[in-house]
């Protein structure tokens, strides 16, 4: 049995207990699976905003939606209506998912390049744009 010592908890464990990593010499990460999980739980706790953004990225949303789509395949009419309502709510409420989509459409960036700051900047931009638009409409009336 080939084993390895975890650099975090210091326990000696079999190689299977380490996540594969091709960039490493021995093909495994330095910390064990258990420590990796604990680390990510801790990170999620300390970065709730980033987790929220990450969850709402189109890539993750699509995965979630795929499951729901399967459920609603039998009832396409209902699904179409719900989708319309969601899109409207996202647009009006300037939800992260809506802002993310705007950024994707405008810059064709990778999801890792979308930061909470970037989303906030874009949101403010859209708010200014909307305010100007309603001002223009008020003047024209």
- Return the closest-CA partner of residue 28 out of 6, 10, 43: 6
- For Zn ion, the closer CB: 30 or 116: 30
**Residue 3: beta bridge partners?**
14
Q: Which two tokens stand for residue 17?
A: 């207990």
Residues 6+ apart with CB under 8 A from 30: 6, 7, 8, 18, 24
| Coil/strand/helix, residue 45 | helix
Q: In the complex, what is the shortest distance from the CB of residue 20 to Zn ion, in angstroms, rounded to a whole number? A: 16
Stretch of 1-9, 48-56, 62-70, 126-134 lying at the interface with Zn ion (CB under 5 A): 1-9
6 lines the binding site for Zn ion (CB under 5 A): yes
From 16-24, 31-39, 69-77, 86-94, give the range in contact with Zn ion by CB under 5 A.
31-39
Report the residue number, 12 or 49, with the smaller CB distance to Zn ion: 12
Q: Which of 5, 9, 41, 131 binds Zn ion (CB under 5 A)?
A: 9
For residues 120 and 139, is the Cβ–Cβ distance under 8 A? no
Contact positions with Zn ion (CB under 5 A) in 35-94: 35
Q: Three-state SS for 22? A: coil
Asked if residue 4 binds Zn ion (CB under 5 A), the reply is no
Contact residues for 36 (Cβ-Cβ < 8 A; gap 6+): 19, 29
Q: Name the one range near Zn ion by CB under 5 A: 24-32, 79-87, 88-96, 103-111.
A: 24-32
Site residues, Zn ion (CB under 5 A): 6, 8-9, 32, 35
């Amino acid at each position: 049995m080939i084993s390895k010592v975890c650099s975090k908890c210091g326990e000696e464990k079999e190689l299977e207990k380490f996540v594969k990593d091709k960039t490493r010499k021995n093909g495994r990460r330095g910390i064990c699976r258990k420590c990796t999980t604990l680390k990510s739980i801790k990170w999620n706790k300390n970065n709730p905003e980033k987790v929220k953004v990450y969850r709402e990225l189109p890539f993750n949303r699509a995965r979630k939606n795929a499951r729901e789509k399967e459920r609603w395949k039998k009832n396409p009419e209902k699904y179409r209506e719900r989708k319309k309502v969601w899109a409207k709510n996202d647009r009006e409420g300037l939800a992260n998912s809506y802002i993310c989509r705007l950024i994707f459409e405008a810059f064709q960036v990778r999801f890792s390049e979308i930061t909470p700051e970037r989303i906030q900047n874009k949101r403010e931009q859209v708010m200014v744009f909307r305010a100007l638009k309603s001002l223009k409409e008020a003047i024209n009336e």
